Amino acid sequence: MRADDVAVVGGGLHAFGRHEGRTGLDMAEVAVRAALDDAGVRWADVDLAVGGSNVSGKPDSLVARLGLTGLPFTTVRNGCATGGVALATAVSALQSRRAELVVVLGFDAHERGAFAADPAAYGLGEWYASSGLMVTTQYFAMRTRRYQHEHGVSDLALARIASRAFRNGAAHPTAWRRTPWTEEEVLASAPVNDPLTTYMFCQPSQGAVALVLARGDRAADLCPRPVRLASVTQRTRRFGSFEVFSPGLAPDPWHSPSVDAAAAAFAEAGVAPADVQVAQVQDTDSGSELVHLAETGLCAHGAQEQLLADGATDVDGVLPVNTDGGCLANGEPVGASGLRQVHEVVRQLQGRAAGAQVPGGPRVGFTHVYGAPGISACAVLTADAP
């Protein structure tokens, strides 16, 4: 660890799922206090905070509960990239020495069922929603089907992704859906948007995550196994990407912001995708993980079929993916989801995963989120040898 590195020195998480009667702010408070305890510091020691929530309240109002210390508190609202942008904001504050000890937090508490969409908020006419085209699950299904067609990937591969997520979730104490559905059960569940079935989709849920960050020169004093944030990147879409809520698209629309964000994250960290030993890849549905595994560079297009058949993405495989069950088993509280990924990878690199631990002491981790309207955020995390 170099003095000017930025490291995660503590983490806390409020269990994901449905928690009736508890607000997003309630859950965020639990997560922040757990993260402070984990780092062995007090709220009064924190000199900058960054918080994100998409729909569940004002993150900076948490100071009323945690203590009115007067610290600067930046609020981030960037859809699925909220966690990544919060992290990037915290990293630059530490690198520019505007802060010594930073708390990053994210939370959300969504209603049940698919996200409802407002066409005007996306610059679309009312006709788009009233005629039944403004449905996110349709997009994921059409992207998946086209990807399967172009790269020769089977429906069984989609089922293997979901089944592995639920297997990992079943072993994880803070995951939401913990029934280890088999591949047959996933395939036999009711179709939602063909080729995707009910158990191939995640659900909106509730949860909160907080992390404590410090520079490398202080990290070792605060944490026996600090984890370096080697890079944090965010990108928006370029012309020719295939995004949700698109009444029209450019021909051959595969230029995803995930490709740009991941390539930048690896380049900035000086790490190759092949070096990754534990990964979190956005899996709002099985098809999304399928596509993102290749878009991030973790495997070649079409190689997923064999990797999944070989168990390579299992916890004890060569490329463990979504070891806490990902969005499929945790649901997606949008503001918390990206930080959940980072929290899980930090624990894996520290050798103290709450669920199934990747064997062999992994030292390089990667996280990826993707969302509307064509944004992606990625991070590379590394740990020194013990």
If you ran DSSP here, which 8-state letter would residue 368 be given?
A: E
CB of residue 54 to other proteins, shortest distance in Å:
17
Residue ranges of the alpha helices (H) in 112-203? Answer: 126-130, 136-151, 155-170, 183-188
Q: Where are the beta strands (DSSP E) in 55-128?
A: 73-76, 101-109
Residue among 224 and 251 whose Cβ is closer to other proteins: 251
Reading phi first (left if > 0) and then psi (alpha if -120 to 50, else beta), residue 326 is in left
CB of residue 145 to other proteins, shortest distance in Å:
5
Tokens coding 183: 């591949």
- Residue 126: CB atoms within 10 A of its CB come to 11
If you ran DSSP here, which 8-state letter would residue 12 be given?
A: E
Decide if residue 97 touches other proteins (CB under 8 A): no
Decide if residue 113 touches other proteins (CB under 8 A): yes
Region near other proteins per CB under 8 A, out of 211-219, 240-248, 295-303, 316-324: 240-248
Is residue 216 within 8 A of residue 382, CB to CB? The reply is no
Options 15, 63, 142, 312; binder of other proteins; rule CB under 8 A: 142
Options 40, 152, 191, 311; binder of other proteins; rule CB under 8 A: 191
Strand pairing class (364-371; 278-281): parallel
Residue among 29 and 243 whose Cβ is closer to other proteins: 243
Decide if residue 274 touches other proteins (CB under 8 A): no
Residue among 2 and 149 whose Cβ is closer to other proteins: 149
CA 68 to chain centre: 30
Residue among 196 and 265 whose Cβ is closer to other proteins: 196
Options 2, 190, 360, 386; binder of other proteins; rule CB under 8 A: 190
What is the spatial distance between Cα 130 and Cα 236, in angstroms, rounded to a whole number? 28
Residue among 92 and 130 whose Cβ is closer to other proteins: 130
Decide if residue 302 touches other proteins (CB under 8 A): no
Options 110, 143, 292, 340; binder of other proteins; rule CB under 8 A: 143
What is the spatial distance between Cα 183 and Cα 186, in angstroms, rounded to a whole number? 5
If you ran DSSP here, which 8-state letter would residue 284 be given?
A: S
Q: How far is residue 141 from each of residues 30, 198, 201, measured CA to CA in Å?
A: 36, 12, 10
Tell me which H or E stretch contains 215: strand 206-215
Residue among 193 and 277 whose Cβ is closer to other proteins: 193
Residue among 44 and 116 whose Cβ is closer to other proteins: 116
Region near other proteins per CB under 8 A, out of 29-37, 125-133, 341-349, 351-359: 125-133
Residues contributing to the site for other proteins (CB under 8 A): 113-114, 116-119, 125-127, 129-135, 138, 141-143, 145-146, 149, 190-196, 239-240, 246-251, 253
